[in-house]
Chain A
């Protein structure tokens, strides 16, 4: 299958990109606003196209544990859900992190807490970037801001997951999941026939048995393992930070925003610059590893930072850590499934940062 231009929803783009990235399996459970991923995959019959397995599980708990099983066989496997379902998956995600298994988890975020709303939100940032489940662990977190990035980040997430033997998450939101845009789809990649040496594929006489577990009854061994994980996360922070700068060169003020909010900020920059306000945008693409260094550097240049998030202010904490008190950092956002407008963003830049 060749490179191809299509008009697709973000959720469909994830599904098609997964087939083309040579994924081996998808395990999911319906929830708005991401059900199109499973619907698209079941409609598309990827088993006939590439041999990829699709299964609707009995719950998100089962789905993530299917991902565990598949990942432990060295297969490229994934799941997707939205906020309440991702909460259910947390047990499985921490086991996957603890067993150092590569996989892709997609969260098309909706507003919470609880059943909340089916409208888009960014209120799962803490859950995605700070662990989410129990224990000291990190996911690699990618935040797409377009349907194109929904597609592109599938392969990127798998590559990073396998490079570091670590679960990777695409943290999207209901707006990007549901909106239709043009998207370039990559040519079909062949499914891998090779197994990593740690995979459970049946113990052959030429090697020791492969065990996939997150259990260490000896606390010293567990601490050694914790150190090993932390070293891996530091390595990821060193090598894999991704971000985009938008009109930062002459900026006196800065928006920091990801995903849908970043698009709102781009428009807000246009409006602000018409009024002579020199504002730029730093868009984190990886939320873990977080673009700390560039934000710290920009803090030496600009007078103040406004983070725009569809939450009560979560990423703002990481921005403040990066800025370390050098300049004012404030948060402004909408909650409950409401997407902020560019006009509101400019107003708040003025009132919270410029006038403040």
Chain B
């Protein structure tokens, strides 16, 4: 009876409710439990699989927790210096315009050290997709203040909370790039719930479809969590993100093409 039921017998098309995208590798990710990075990777992989463009896409990994993105996505990937991914991606796309190119960057990478590269790539309207993970903190280096850290928010370098008078205001990079004529599609999404995951996945799909049509820069911010850096459980972190991050970084589209 039950002895006869093997894994092989169970894995039948009619029993399958979920399968890992074949664009993901079998490596265990280096992300903390409950971190949004893993989900963001997964939906990028799924879109690439669904569009069948694995052999036509080149990714650029940042410096940050996702520096090892190339261990988890089964794609040709270049690892860029901290903040320089948009410049790296610019050249890849200019030299191989027939390929798809995307960067995956976190807030320290994209909105602090890489501000110039981000703005100028968007301003030139480079035909690339930029996926921007905003978790309001420097995760990899141990929870320091990021350009996106909220007012009053504690981090290891704003231990009394971010004082905007001396430390500057949380930077809304997505709002800024939406004002640039070079960007074509700009949106802010999240991945903490299935409904949001679906929306973000749709945004990624759209961005890559627009890239095929040479429309300009597509910029997708994903407001995300950092349970370790925020010193919260995954559940607490998602609640805190919804209650505190979303009011300052409201979800939604900033720039939607006419053709939609």
Contacts and interface: CB of A to CB of B under 8 A. Distances in A.
A200 B96 CA distance: 11
A209 B116 CA distance: 30
B211 to A, nearest CB: 14
A88 to B, nearest CB: 11
A24 B95 contact: yes
A237 interface: no
Interface stretch (A53-61, A138-146, A254-262, A276-284): A53-61
A59 B114 CA distance: 12
Query: Which residue, of A69, A70, A202, A214, has the highest number of chain B Cβ atoms within 10 A?
Result: A69
B79 interface: yes
Contacts of A165: none
B90 A55 contact: yes
Given A202-B99, A203-B55, A213-B70, A25 B81 contact: no
B43 interface: no
A66 B74 CA distance: 23
Contacts of A115: none
Contacts of B94: 25, 53, 55, 66, 70
Interface residues of B, number: 32
Interface residues of A, number: 38
A72 B87 contact: no
Given A201-B58, A203-B75, A213-B70, A66 B99 contact: no
Contact of B92 (A59, A62, A73): A73
B175 interface: no
A212 B79 contact: yes
B70 A25 contact: no
Interface string B70-110: 10001111111100100111111011100100000000000
A69 B88 contact: yes
A193 to B, nearest CB: 12
Given A58-B116, A62-B84, A211 B95 contact: no
A209 B80 contact: no
Interface string B51-65: 000111110110000
Given A65-B84, A73-B96, A202-B76, A209 B70 contact: yes
B117 interface: yes
B67 A215 contact: yes
Given A62-B84, A203-B54, A204-B55, A212 B78 contact: yes
Nearest to A59: B116
A77 interface: yes
B69 to A, nearest CB: 10
B199 interface: no
A99 B70 CA distance: 14
B76 A200 contact: yes
B120 interface: yes
Interface in A161-217: 200-205, 209-215
Nearest to B57: A202
Contacts of A73: 58, 91-92, 95-96
A91 interface: yes
A66 B91 contact: yes
A70 B92 contact: yes
A95 B81 contact: yes
Contacts of B67: 215
Contacts of B56: 202
A62 B78 contact: no
Contacts of B81: 65, 68, 91-92, 95
Contact of B70 (A24, A67, A211): A211
A301 B129 CA distance: 64
A75 interface: yes
Nearest to A66: B91
Nearest to A94: B81
A253 interface: no
Given A73-B95, A202-B58, A65 B88 contact: yes
B87 A66 contact: yes
Interface string A9-42: 0000000000000001101000000000000000
12 contacts: A25-B95, A55-B94, A62-B90, A66-B88, A69-B87, A69-B89, A69-B90, A69-B92, A70-B91, A77-B91, A200-B58, A209-B70
Interface of B: 54-58, 60-61, 67-68, 70, 74-81, 84, 87-92, 94-96, 99, 116-117, 120
Given A62-B117, A204-B55, A213-B78, 8 more contacts: A53-B94, A61-B116, A62-B116, A66-B94, A68-B88, A73-B92, A209-B74, A213-B70
